Structure 1
Amino acid sequence: GLELLGKHSQIPELLAYFTADNRQYLVQEFIEGDTLEQELDNQGIFTENQIISLLEDLLPVLDFVHQNQVIHRDIKPENIIRRASDNKLVLVDFGASKQVQRTSMSVTGTVIGSAAYCAPEQAMGKPQYGSDLY
């Protein structure tokens, strides 16, 4: 799915991808910074204001991903990096992402994602765009 996404400043650039030994490899731009998981570990739970600013920063990125008919399917604190250079949030790890065919939205597929953050419909193998918001 990542190679089909247009360029966005808050998504790592895909530099190359190849298959070797029946495994797929993605070579992506390195994003310098801490993940939100590290921030949570260091400072404890976020305040309401921190969460609002986080959503204001991240929701346009998700909108961009969804406009390109891609569902990320594994959004969680460890897949969001606060870029050191400009403090912007960068959405990483599109390894589980899925390109949506209009017909496949209702078809049950493979269950992918992290249990603690997985939307119920995604857990049943039917991810929707809204599953990324869950």
Structure 2
Amino acid sequence: MNTALINGEIDAYFTGGTYTASPARLDGLSNVRGITPKSRPVDGKGGVVWIELTSAVANPDPTPLAEDFLEFVQQPEICKAVGFAEGTYNPVSQMGDPEVFKLWDKDELDAIQWDSLPEEMAGSVEYSVVADYAKLLEIYTAAKRG
């Protein structure tokens, strides 16, 4: 879909966001932009946002390497590498640290739509795990028939 958007085969699609638009934007196609709908049907919000954090969990057999790994991924250069993994570019929570933030240049900040991040976040609900897939299927099926 990204290729079709870039080469003009389609004008828009409604499945992505910054995650999807960022590679094209970094390639100079600033007309490609992830947007949050202004019509906000879910608690006054129209988008969905999810935040991933790396953490150590208390499994029955936790590895002693977990804490070392967490220290490793918190290094500014690694935070940048995670935010700019091949194929998609995203803000990372560690950008609140000036040592991490300074690693992003103007074009990279533009690619991840840093300018509108607060507005996009404010217009989005936080993703949550589906509590009951059977109930979700029932709701979805009824909506399709509606």
| Fold agreement, TM-score > 0.5 | no
What range is the shorter-chain TM-score in? under 0.3
Which structure carries more relative contact order (alpha carbon 8 Å, separation 6+)? Answer: 2
Q: TM-score, normalised by structure 2?
A: 0.24
* CA radius of gyration, larger in: 2
Query: 1 or 2, which has the higher strand percentage?
Result: 1
